[in-house]
Amino acid sequence: MQLVINSRGAYLRKQNNCFLIKNDDKVFEVSVKKIESILITTSAYISTDAIKFAMDNNIDIVFLDYFGNPYGRVWHSKLGSTTLIRRKQLEASIGEKGLNLAKEWITGKIDNQIDFLKSLKNSRSKKENRINEYIISLEKRKSMITKIEGAIEEKRNNIMAIEGIAGKEYFEALSYIMPDGFKFKGRSRNPAQDEFNCLLNYAYGVLYSMVEKSCIIAGLDPYIGFIHADNYNKKSLVFDLIEMYRVFAEKTVMYLFSKRKVKKEYFDKIKNGLSLNQEGKALLINELNDTFETTVRYRGRNIKNKNIIQFESHRIANNLLKQK
């Protein structure tokens, strides 16, 4: 499970073989064996014993800001694997192998978008024709990406341009499907301009921390990207890999709206937009955990959604180690 500290003033410490969480007059314990990571989303206290306890048990501690963006992580200092992986990653980041990986990730992302729209279409017969138009357009974008050849360094902008158009069409389709009163005008980041983007931005932040962790464990360097340019202090590979998994966040948020679980009271008005309050965060994180714990059939095996992220990071690392 993911232990989430989202109550202001909460205190986390170690007690025997458990984490003890105290908030006001409430106290509860969680066994270390049940925890995979700890998310701290608000002003809280944590003891150094609890930090060491987490490190000793391979549990990372992630700090999220007001909008759900990870701004810090406490993790042990050991490399996830051999440094040879990072050397191979650097070599691939400018050549044909890098392009092939980038194409695989972005076409995988578009496939996820198409499959999701198809599933949404099945229960919306009145909107079927227009949703089909969006699906056909996305299939064309995917075909355009598969035809790109050369080195990633030369073709990076081409991929990003096509992917950007596909993303715009995809979110237009989601807005078209949304219930009245919650439709939105494209993507808006921090601050979000509407309820959909407010939830989605926070969900992406949680997902971002999971992808970064999978890179570290697999021995990949989060800072050496293929699609996203190498900017100072930017975890480019995390931005690359998260593309394949964004659909987990998008499905979770869309289903919250379709099940009518979203209330206006979950959002606070701030300067130039909206923010998700404590009740809204609790709702979203519970739903995300359900999504990540769902078992699906993937590459010939039954696997939880959350484990797909780690599985793919290891597969990418192994791919980089291959000579051809």
Residues at the binding site are: 163, 228, 243
Tell me the two tokens of residue 156: 């990076």
CA–CA distance, 137 with 121 (Å, rounded to integer): 15
CB-CB contact of 68 with 204 (8 Å):
yes
Which residue positions form the known binding site for Mn(2+)?
163, 228, 243
Beta-bridge mates of residue 21: 12, 28
Beta 37-40 vs 18-23: how paired, if at all? Answer: unpaired
- Paired tokens of 110: 């578009």
CB environment 140-173: b (16+ within 10 A), e (fewer) = ebbebbeebeeebeebbeebeebbeebbebbbbb
Rounded CA-CA distance 19/15 in Å is 6
Dmax of the chain from CA atoms? 62
